[in-house]
Amino acid sequence: EKGTYPHYMLKEIDEQPLVIRNIISKYQKENGEIKLDEDIRKAMQAADRIYIIAAGTSYHAGLVGKQLIESIAKKPVETHIASEFLYNMPLVSEKPLFIFISQSGETADSRGVLVNVKKLGYPALTITNVPGSTLSREADFTLHTYAGPEIAVASTKAYTAQMAVLAILAVDTAKARGLTLDFDPIKELSIVGTVMETLCDQKEALEKIAREYLSVTRNCFFIGRASDYYVGLEGALKLKEISYIQAEGFAGGELKHGTIALIEEGTPVIALATQKHVNLSIRGNVKEVAARGANPCIISLEGLNADNDAFVLPKVHDYLTPLVAVIPLQLISYYAALHRGCDVDKPRNLAKSVTVE
Ligand code: M6R
43-73 pLDDT, tens digit each: 999 999 999 999 999 999 999 999 999 999 9
**Residue 255: closest CA among 222, 303, 296, 299:** 222
The C-alpha atoms of residue 249 and residue 322 are separated, in whole angstroms, by: 15
Tell me the per-residue pLDDT of 29-43, one tens digit each, with 9 for 90 and over.
Answer: 999 899 999 999 999
Does 56 contact ligand 1 (Cβ within 6 A)? Answer: yes
ipTM computed for the complex: 0.99
- Per the CB < 8 A criterion, the answer to whether 283 and 307 are in contact is no
Tell me the per-residue pLDDT of 275-305, one tens digit each, with 9 for 90 and over.
Answer: 999 999 999 999 999 999 999 999 999 999 9
- Per the CB < 8 A criterion, the answer to whether 189 and 317 are in contact is no
pLDDT confidence bin for 351, thresholds 50/70/90: confident
The C-alpha atoms of residue 132 and residue 13 are separated, in whole angstroms, by: 24
For residue 230, give Cα distances in angstroms to 64, 96, 168, 248.
Answer: 7, 24, 19, 12
Number of H helices, E strands in the chain: 13, 10
Residues forming beta bridges with residue 97, ordered by sequence position: 50
Give the active site residues: 352
Does 103 contact ligand 1 (Cβ within 6 A)? Answer: yes
Distance 271 CA to ligand 1 centre (A): 24
Distance 115 CA to ligand 1 centre (A): 19
> Is the Cα torsion angle 330, 335, 341, 346 positive or negative in sign?
positive
For residue 81, give Cα distances in angstroms to 31, 87, 90, 124, 237.
Answer: 38, 11, 12, 16, 14
Does 61 contact ligand 1 (Cβ within 6 A)? Answer: no
For residue 228, give Cα distances in angstroms to 38, 222, 252.
Answer: 33, 9, 9
Tell me the per-residue pLDDT of 246-266, one tens digit each, with 9 for 90 and over.
Answer: 999 999 999 999 999 999 999
Q: Over pLDDT 70: what percentage of the chain? A: 100
C-alpha radius of gyration, the chain, whole number: 20
Q: What is the pLDDT of residue 354?
A: 85
Distance 55 CA to ligand 1 centre (A): 6
Instruction: Give nearest CA residue, ligand 1 atom 7.
Output: 56
Q: What is the pLDDT of residue 221?
A: 97
Tell me the per-residue pLDDT of 319-342, one tens digit each, with 9 for 90 and over.
Answer: 999 999 999 999 999 999 999 999
Q: Average of pLDDT values for 92-118? A: 98
Tell me the per-residue pLDDT of 191-240, one tens digit each, with 9 for 90 and over.
Answer: 999 999 999 999 999 999 999 999 999 999 999 999 999 999 999 999 99
The C-alpha atoms of residue 29 and residue 117 are separated, in whole angstroms, by: 33
Does 153 contact ligand 1 (Cβ within 6 A)? Answer: yes
Mean pLDDT of the chain: 97
